Amino acid sequence: MSESVNAAQASTDAGAGQAAADTSTPAPDAPVSALSAAGAAEPKADAAAPAQAEAPKPAAVPEKYELKAPEGMQLDASAIEAATPIFKDLGLTSEQAQKLSDVYASQMARMAQQQRETWTKQHEGWVSDMKSDAEFGGDKFASSMSTMSHVIDKVMGSEADAFKQMLDLTGAGNHPQMARLLYRVGKAIGEDGLVRGGPAGAMTENDLAKSLFPTMKS
C-alpha cells in the first residue's frame, strides 16, 4: 500500500517539475513579450556614446600680408599692395598668400632666365656675324674694331664714354650694322681725319659732313 502511494507521489512530483520547466523556457514558436523586447532595445549602461567632432575654426585673415621673397629676389611692394584686397576677398591666410607669392616669384625667375638666354644667344650670333663679315671681319677684324673705336672717340669727343655705355646697354655695340656704319665712317674720314679735330678733341659737324659728303656745299 505504501509503495503505491510513493509511486503516485513520485509521478505527481515529476509532473510538477515538467510544468515548471515548461514555464521557464518558452516554446520555440512563442512570441517575444513586450517587456522582453523593450529591455532588449535599451542601450547597455556601459556603452559609450560616440563623441561629436568639433567643427574646425575658420583660418584668420591678416590685416596685412607679410610676404617673403625667395633668396636673391625682391618683391614689388606695389604689386603686393594691389593683390592684398584680392587676397582678403578670397579669405586667404598668410600661409596661403605666401604660397601664391612663391609660385609667382618662381614663374618670374623662369621668364627672366629665358630672356637672358635669348639675349645672350642673339648677341653671340651678332658677334659671330661681325667676326666673319666680308667687309670688316676675318683677318681685318681687330684693326676694323680699332678704327670703329677711334671714330667714336673723335666724333663724340667728351661724350664718347656715354655713347659706348649706350652701345653696351642696348646691345647695339654687338650689332653688325652698327659696326658697319662706324667702319664706313672711319674709312670715309681716313686716317688723317681721325687725328684731326677741334679744341675739344672732337670733329665738328661740318668736318664730318665734308668727310662723308665731299661734294656737299657748305
| pLDDT value of residue 39 | 54
State the pTM of this model: 0.55
User: CA 161 to CA 80: how far, in whole Å?
Assistant: 39
Least confident of 103-107, 124-128, 135-139, 206-210: 206-210
> Helix (H) and strand (E) counts for the chain?
8, 0
H or E element: which one contains 100?
helix 94-131
The answer for residues whose C-beta is within 8 angstroms of residue 64's C-beta and 6 or more apart is 84
Q: pLDDT, tens digit, for every residue of 32-68?
A: 555 555 555 555 555 555 666 676 666 788 988 999 9
| Cell numbers 592684398: residue | 84
Name the DSSP class of 77: H
User: What are the grid coordinates assigned to 93, written together?
Assistant: 591666410
